[in-house]
Chain A
Amino acid sequence: MTRVYEEIDRQLGIVVATVKQTLAYRFDFFTAILGALLMMALLYYLWTAIYASSTSMAMSYQALITYVCLGQAFSFARPGQRRILVRIGAGIRTGHVLMDLVRPTDYQLLTISDTFGAFLMETLMVSLPSYLVALLFFGISLPASPEAAFGFGVSVLGAFFLVSSVDFLIGLMAFWTMNVFGLVWGLGYLKIAVIDILAGTVIPLTLFPDWLRGIALALPFQGMAFTPLAIYVGTIQGSAIWTSILSQFAWGVGFVLLTRLVWLKARRRIEIQGG
């Protein structure tokens, strides 16, 4: 038991350290909020115009606007949410990963705890303020029901877990190729595109053509944005809330297990650059 306590305490220590670090650059929060609000405004006017000129749509105007604005407030495509990729990528390129690997903890756990601290701060300092602005100025709705509100909260955590597990897997590839710029950062940008499009941040999956929606719903990426947003606006409701959250975590666990396998191989291959 004491070992479990110790490990929890250790991970909390890492989370707290990240929180302190992010607070050292408070100005970043303002630019991130500004960025989120600009994207929000863009999507708001875009979708308002699209809605005005279309005859029928699978979502109500109010739900649609709420969905896309909320999607910008709680987005995992933001630079602040790329901490794992940056840490592994820069760590391998400079050899700094060495200092992470001598610690008495699991490397994956360490990077996820580290990024969780950043996620907490982003949620508090960027997502929630942007959300409040959206409530007040873009007139988005409150959660469809108390259950939707709770489900949204849990589902955002699920999305964090899913995104982090995929990020770590992408980051690990750099141990093979040592090609940080091409692979990790390139795939990092691909990840943004995936979250914006396949995860349904910019266009709700509900509005996809049937065949494409089928594909998107079968893939794990919907859990990175569509699941929490659709729960919030009530597109996903009742027991479906919990099955979709379960699916987020199941994919997350799946990626973690896959990562463990890759990591076992990667560890033997580690080459650390520089003196």
Chain B
Amino acid sequence: MTEASSAAPIVRVTDLSKTFRTLKRKPGLVGAIRNLFSTDYEEIKAVDHISFEIAPGELVGYIGPNGAGKSTTIKMLTGILHPTAGQVVVDGLVPQRERVRNSKKIGVIFGQRTQLLWDIPPTDSFELMRKMYAIPTAQYQANLKQFVELLALGELMKRPVRQLSLGQRMRCELVASLLHDPKIVYLDEPTIGLDVVAKERIREFILHLNQARRTTILLTTHDLTDIERLCRRVIIIDKGQLIYDGTLAEIKRRYGRRRRVVFSLADGASIDGLTTSLEQVGPGLQTQMRGDGGVVVSFDPQQVAATTITRHIVNNYPVADLSVEEANLEAIIREIYQQGMGR
């Protein structure tokens, strides 16, 4: 993937913005009637001057809290939405200007929607895709055979889509959007609502797609395990603005400095004055009580040594259990979402 990043970008997003104008809706019955005549619009900046590039063969995680503008960006990348300002270039094309040509090169999955024909077996949807993308028969059959094997579709192929479980359906969605060998694939929450086993299967498949087929992938998700398993690079956006673009390792290095001491006390022990007494151990300590009676102390190892804290706790309280933890990605991202980065 390092050699990929030096190649000319396959996706280039330049100063992209999208503003929606929506009617300010007033609540209640009177409000509803007023809405009929209202011209009171409010502008929402869904995407606000975002720029990034993706090199061929990269697998990039595109994350952010709900409503951050992830899906809106993807809709602009596919050519469906027109930017209010800025530009998108995908493999040399401006998708808005050459939507049809662009659509043949891309595959899209919106995890919350289905592209499969609901009342009939997935095979019929695949057949439709064959015609839709004018896929040569040999290519179609080879791809289908491989995908069916990788995703263990076998039996599912004959059942109407409406009878499939979410995980089974999502596997079929992947097939439907990949049969035409797209160069670039946008996966918008492909693991949403799936159980751990189903998620893992999807992840393995995505990884295969990226590594064996060299497909460029932009992945949005709320499951950070997806990101840790799949992506080296992450783009984080919030409120329409780009707040981080870099490697996962860098995030951990930069923002994951804080580590945690987690401990619980022996039955009946009092935790009175714990917070105050810990604050005297060193600067920048944060104490949090957990619902199960555990206590979490987060600290910056450059300011206080873990041993200083643990020694203080063990010497002053009847400890039942104690451990020191690295900050995990979820904690880091939670902090980033909550505070914004340096904003």
Contact B106 A13 (CB under 8 A): no
Contact B124 A20 (CB under 8 A): yes
- Give, as a whole number of angstroms, the nearest-CB distance from B289 to chain A: 34
* Interface members, chain B 70-129 (any A CB < 8 Å): 71, 75, 78-82, 100-101, 103-104, 106, 108, 110, 112-115, 117-120, 124-125, 127-128
B127 — which chain A residues lie within 8 A by C-beta? 13, 16-17
Contact B119 A13 (CB under 8 A): no
Contact A102 B103 (CB under 8 A): yes
Other-chain contact of A95, B108, B113, B125, B130 (Cβ < 8 Å): B113
Residue interface mask A146-189, B partner, CB < 8 A = 1: 00000000000000000000000000000000000000000000
Contact A104 B113 (CB under 8 A): no
Contact A102 B117 (CB under 8 A): no
Q: Which of A69-77, A124-132, A237-245, A267-275 contacts B (4 or more CB under 8 A)?
A: A267-275
Residue interface mask B131-166, A partner, CB < 8 A = 1: 111100000000000000000000000001000000
Contact B112 A274 (CB under 8 A): yes
Contact A6 B117 (CB under 8 A): no
Is A14 at the interface (CB under 8 A from chain B)? yes
Contact A99 B110 (CB under 8 A): yes
Other-chain contact of B80, A17, A94, A102, A106 (Cβ < 8 Å): A102
Give Cα A21–Cα B124 distance, bound, in whole angstroms.
Answer: 9
Interface residues of A (CB under 8 A from B): 6, 9-10, 12-14, 16-17, 20-21, 24-25, 94-96, 98-99, 101-106, 267-268, 270-272, 274-275
Give Cα A270–Cα B125 distance, bound, in whole angstroms.
Answer: 26
Contact A9 B134 (CB under 8 A): yes
Interface size for B (C-beta < 8 A) is 36
- Give, as a whole number of angstroms, the nearest-CB distance from A125 to chain B: 16
A102 — which chain B residues lie within 8 A by C-beta? 78-80, 103, 106, 108
A270 — which chain B residues lie within 8 A by C-beta? 80-82
- Give, as a whole number of angstroms, the nearest-CB distance from B39 to chain A: 14
What 14 new A-B contacts, CB under 8 Å, besides A102-B80, A275-B188?
A: A17-B124, A17-B125, A17-B127, A20-B120, A21-B120, A98-B110, A99-B110, A103-B103, A104-B132, A106-B100, A270-B81, A270-B82, A274-B112, A275-B66
Contact B100 A272 (CB under 8 A): no
A272 — which chain B residues lie within 8 A by C-beta? 75, 80-81
Contact A10 B82 (CB under 8 A): no
B103 — which chain A residues lie within 8 A by C-beta? 102-104
- Give, as a whole number of angstroms, the nearest-CB distance from A245 to chain B: 30
Give Cα A275–Cα B66 distance, bound, in whole angstroms.
Answer: 8
B131 — which chain A residues lie within 8 A by C-beta? 9-10, 12-14, 16
Other-chain contact of A6, B112, B134, B160, B189 (Cβ < 8 Å): B134
Q: List 20 A-B contacts (CB under 8 A).
A: A10-B131, A12-B131, A13-B127, A14-B132, A17-B117, A21-B119, A21-B120, A24-B119, A24-B160, A94-B113, A96-B113, A98-B110, A98-B113, A101-B80, A104-B104, A267-B82, A272-B75, A275-B66, A275-B188, A275-B189
Contact B132 A13 (CB under 8 A): yes
Other-chain contact of B82, A20, A94, A99, A268 (Cβ < 8 Å): A268
B81 — which chain A residues lie within 8 A by C-beta? 270-272
Is B20 at the interface (CB under 8 A from chain A)? yes
| Closest chain A residue, CB of each to CB of B22 | A271
B160 — which chain A residues lie within 8 A by C-beta? 24
Contact A13 B115 (CB under 8 A): no
Q: With A98-B75, A270-B80, A272-B75 in contact, do A105 and B128 touch (Cβ < 8 Å)?
A: no
Contact A99 B117 (CB under 8 A): no
- Give, as a whole number of angstroms, the nearest-CB distance from B128 to chain A: 4
A101 — which chain B residues lie within 8 A by C-beta? 78, 80
Give Cα A155–Cα B189 distance, bound, in whole angstroms.
Answer: 48
B71 — which chain A residues lie within 8 A by C-beta? 275
- Give, as a whole number of angstroms, the nearest-CB distance from B137 to chain A: 12
Q: Which 7 A-B pairs have the closest CB atoms?
A: A13-B131, A24-B119, A104-B103, A17-B128, A99-B115, A6-B134, A101-B80
Contact B113 A99 (CB under 8 A): yes
A25 — which chain B residues lie within 8 A by C-beta? 119
Of listed A12, A96, A98, A102, residue having the most chain B CB within 10 A? A102
- Give, as a whole number of angstroms, the nearest-CB distance from B85 to chain A: 13
Contact B113 A105 (CB under 8 A): no
Other-chain contact of B128, A14, A24, A106 (Cβ < 8 Å): A14
Q: With A20-B124, A99-B113 in contact, do A13 and B130 touch (Cβ < 8 Å)?
A: yes
Of listed A17, A95, A267, residue having the most chain B CB within 10 A? A17
Q: With A17-B124, A98-B80 in contact, do A104 and B133 touch (Cβ < 8 Å)?
A: yes
A10 — which chain B residues lie within 8 A by C-beta? 131-132, 134
Give Cα A25–Cα B110 distance, bound, in whole angstroms.
Answer: 27
B75 — which chain A residues lie within 8 A by C-beta? 98, 272
Contact A275 B120 (CB under 8 A): no
- Give, as a whole number of angstroms, the nearest-CB distance from B73 to chain A: 12
Of listed A14, A103, A272, A274, residue having the most chain B CB within 10 A? A103
